[in-house]
Structure 1
Amino acid sequence: MAGLGSYLKKHTEALVKDVGIEAACKLTGKSKATLGRYYSEHEEHADRFMPVDAVAALEEASSYPHVTTALAELKGITLSFDERRRNQESSGGVNADVIALSQRFAMLMGEYNQSIEDGIITINEAKRLLKETLALQQVLLDMKLHLEEEAN
């Protein structure tokens, strides 16, 4: 547990520093001293961790979800960071998603066709394919959310 706690504390510190200590205090309603205890490596603070609501508030304001990513990594889960902000309104609903899905799939297949033309997929080609695959995955996620919204 010592290594696990240390790992989480380092990511908690990165999160607080990403947002800024003053802003972190305002967002969480915690003092500088309390926030410092959450990532302190001193033995008397070894069992203190930032509450999940405070993590959520800070990660909403941060440039990267430091603690969420650390927790996912500890569980062997890989997250894909999307530059778009979540809960972003998208217009068009499922019909627009189907169109976007077909366009993205066509782009992926076009990229694949170019990449495999010489029989070898280079690292750069693989990166472009991965980028297209992630974009396709995001369209599917948007479509799933729209379908769930319509089902309720």
Structure 2
Amino acid sequence: MAGMGSYLKKHTEALVKEVGIEPACEVTGKSKATLGRYYSDNPEHADRFMPIDAVAQLEEAAGYPHVTVALAELRGVALNFEDRRANSERSGNVNSDVIALSQRFALLMAEYQQSIEDGQISVNEAKRLLKETTLLQQVLVDMKLNLEDESG
């Protein structure tokens, strides 16, 4: 359970930081301190999580549903979210998807190679790897949607 809480807090932090702390306060009506407690890894805040309505408000303001995806992943569910389409254009071409996939994978592997040079992955390195993994996942979603379009 502790691992799950930590996982959700990391994604909550990513969501707040994508929106920005000041705009997140405005969107949710919560203070900076309250928002900070929702993703704090201090033991005293271990059982504090962002209310679902605040998650929904922030995910609407963000370009990516960080907490929703994290919850789905914890349950072994893969999400197909198309709201992201407003923020990025799909190529509509599987060939360009394959190129983008190859480029993203190469970036992920380069980041991984750099991260393990000293034999251990730091917190910052893990965050960069997570970002690259998420971007790779988005390319795969685009590719899946384009393949579905082409298959009729």
Sort the TM-score into its range (normalised by shorter chain). Answer: 0.5 to 0.7
Hey, what does 1:5 align to over in structure 2?
A: 5
Q: Deviations over 1:19-69 (max 9, x none)?
A: 000000001000000000000000000000000000000000001000000
Q: Deviations over 1:75-119 (max 9, x none)?
A: 00111232335xxxxxxxxxxxxxxxxxxxxx99xx8xxx9xxxx
Structure 1 residue identity aligned to 2:8:
L
Report the CA distance shift for 1:8/1:136 in structure 2 as closer, same or farther (over 3 A): farther
Superposed CA RMSD in Å reads 3.1
Distance 1:37 1:81 in 2: 28
Hey, what does 1:77 align to over in structure 2?
A: 77
Hey, what does 2:146 align to over in structure 1?
A: 132
Report the secondary structure of 2:64's partner residue.
coil
Instruction: Give the count of matched residue pairs.
Output: 105
Equivalent residues in 2 for 1:44-83 (5 A)?
44-82=44-82, 83=84
Deviation at 1:131, TM superposition (A): 3.7
Equivalent residues in 2 for 1:118-129 (5 A)?
124=98
Report the secondary structure of 1:33's partner residue.
helix
Deviation at 1:134, TM superposition (A): 4.2
Structure 2 residue identity aligned to 1:19:
V
- In the alignment, structure 2 segments of 5+ residues that lack a partner are 87-91, 102-139
Task: State the identity as a percent.
Answer: 62
- In the alignment, structure 1 segments of 5+ residues that lack a partner are 86-106, 116-122, 140-152
Structure 2 residue identity aligned to 1:47:
D
Hey, what does 1:21 align to over in structure 2?
A: 21
Structure 1 residue identity aligned to 2:144:
L
Report the secondary structure of 1:18's partner residue.
helix
Structure 2 residue identity aligned to 1:28:
T
Report the CA distance shift for 1:133/1:44 in structure 2 as closer, same or farther (over 3 A): same
TM-score by length of 2: 0.59
